[in-house]
Structure 1
Amino acid sequence: MTDEITQTAPADDPAVAFEELRRAVSLTRAAIEGLTAARERMPDYGETLGEMLGALKDADDRLSRIERSPAISLSPAAMAAEIVKASEAARAADQKQMHEVRDEMLRAIGRIDTMVDHGRAAHQQRRLIISTGVGAAAGAMLLMAILPGAVARSLPASWHVPEWMAARTIGLDQREAGEKMIATARRESTSRGR
């Protein structure tokens, strides 16, 4: 302890006193410069703090809206009743939409059935027309094979229609056709007689 007192005791020599003062000022100056340098090296948190302040304001606004919401003031039983009511309304809307879709599908199916029926009817009608045409053609051929002979036989004999038809069939006039028919008849009779 006595050493400390002797070391801190003022010296009579001004040069020693100035040297001690110079060391104290130098030490103080170094300390101040160190504090200033440390302060300059400190990061700027202003932008980050501003962002945090904005986020806190947004959170505060949201909390205020939640606190003003009528759902917060409801009891659990009332909240359950509101949920049931909302779900019934949603189901009713879904039911209505499902009925509308079902009705539209039934109408579309009806239109498709109608088109298929029209297609079938057209196909059946085409088959009926073809079969009727074939039947009519066959009937006309049969009628044309039978009717002229029946008509020719029903006409008066003085008209000589069968003879005329025979000549037309052979492709000669009546006289030549008659001669040819007589010659053919003679040959057949002679060949039968043998």
Structure 2
Amino acid sequence: MMDEDNYRNNGRAGDDPQAAFEQLRGEVALVRLAVEGLARARESIEIPDYQPTLANTEKILLALTQRVDVIAKSPAMKLTPETMGERVNASVASATGELHNLVNSTRSDMSEAARELRGLIGTTRARWQQDRWLFWIGLGGVVLGILLYALLAGLIARAMPDSWQLPERMATRALAEPTLWDAGTHLMQRASPASWEGIVAAANLARDNRETIEACGAAAAKAKKTVRCTIEVKPANNDR
């Protein structure tokens, strides 16, 4: 403040060079003080930072611009009553065409299914007839095989060696008898019951008089001639 007062007092110095120099120095000091005061005042003022706000505002404006562009380019913004009518007519025509194609496709599928069903019925009928023919052919083959076996089995069995006893074994198996002897007795009983009874009676007579018959046979062999023997005969009801 003293420099400012000196400057004001020296303003009246007149034409004195020293006074003028002092006045100039006072003015320079005054300017320096003013500049320092402005610097201190600027440092004390807090200036807000608007950079984040400006960045957010820019982002919002960019998003709004993009949405407006999308809406402007949307086909709905270009629709008019005429174009909407044309699109409705085109949609109806397309739906009608698809329905017509669907009906034709369904009709074709039904026709194809009917043909397949007729073919299946025909195939089933032909297969049934074929199975019936196969059954009769198989049955005829079985009958023919039995006849051929009946005609040729005996010839083949008799052609085999006698030691094999193939005919006798076949007869035993056919009569369901356990042994050849049982099969023979079975055949004799069926062939002639009376003769079979005579054979049984003779067998029983020989069994009951076995010792007498053996002694008589020995005597005949010793005498070398026929001899008489006495045997016992049991009643017919006690022959077994």
Query: Normalising to structure 2: TM-score of the pair?
Result: 0.38
Query: Normalising to structure 1: TM-score of the pair?
Result: 0.44
Higher helix share: 1
- Please tell me whether Structure 1 or Structure 2 has the larger radius of gyration of its CA atoms: 2
